[in-house]
Amino acid sequence: MTDKYAVIGNPISHSKSPLIHEAFAKQTNQDISYERILAPLGGFEATVRDLIAKGYKGVNVTVPFKFEAFNLATKHSNRAINAGAANTLTFNDEICAENTDGAGIVRDIEENLNVKFAGKEVLLLGAGGAAEGVLHPILETNPLLLVIANRSLDKALSMVKKVEVQQAHMLTTLTGQTFENLETQQFDIIINATSAGLTDTSLPIPNTIFARGCLAYDMMYGRETPFMKQARESGAQVVDGLGMLVEQAAEAFYIWRGVRPETQDVMQMIRNLPKS
């Protein structure tokens, strides 16, 4: 009997998740179906309850429902608790919440790009849900320094304070700053976790933050963002978030099916799709 899964979001028509999970299923001989589900704003819980009643085994969750997914769940992994949000739900006797975003970005950067976080100076741009989702997994790789920079200093400092309470023996120096306070610093790895690329908005960051050999990673994929353009012109190695998308999906697939798919061919398949 085919096990049913889906991705829930609003909007959702652009999602590549069905293509990715169908490729994983074919590769690993898993009998599953996977579809896009558009949930109305304010209707996430009702949508999930309906899918559970119809026998679905789990869902991925994308914007704007990751916080609602966390709150709806009755059981939470440590990764979901640390992020305060969930992008993967598993339905068994309970609704189990996971967050695979952090695992996805770390695996893409360390395994696919062969850039290690340990001992590096890292800048995380943004203090919203995307940044929250990847912060703890990055800290677990023991960078020397991690700076969270945001337009609002309060939000960056709030993230720092929460981590300091949870990880008293953290090896990494963790600080929060505004974008404007980065003038005198340089970083080995810079991750853009803001949504500025959606509106083609430039971030108020200086060109000097990109150290020689810097990796500039934008969590968005499928477009050249102003951040990527600025980083490229400053001599950085520039990468978009497609690898993170595929790797976080592979982690979710592993949670659901107990087998870890290969990701390289799937990434190439998505890259080769016609531009919409």
Supply φ then ψ for residue 77, to 5 degrees: -75, 165
One-letter amino acid of 81: I
Provide the token pair at 17. Answer: 């998740």
Please confirm, yes or no, whether 120 is among the known catalytic residues: no
Q: Which residues, in sequence order, are CB contacts of 249 under 8 Å at separation 6+?
A: 17, 20, 21, 24, 60, 100, 104
**173 Cβ neighbours under 8 A, 6+ residues apart:** 144, 145, 146
Q: What is the DSSP letter of 235?
A: T
Give backbone dihedrals phi and psi of 23, rounded to 5 degrees, phi first.
Answer: -65, -40
The 8-class DSSP code of residue 110 comes to I
ω into 11 cis (within 30 of 0): yes
Q: What is the biggest distance separating any 2 CA atoms in the chain, rounded to whole angstroms?
A: 60
Distance CA 188, CA 70 (A): 33
DSSP label at residue 65: -
Catalytic site residue from 66, 155, 162, 229 = 66
The pairing of strands 88-91 and 95-98 is antiparallel
For the chain, counts of helices (H) and of strands (E): 10, 12
- Catalytic residue set: 66
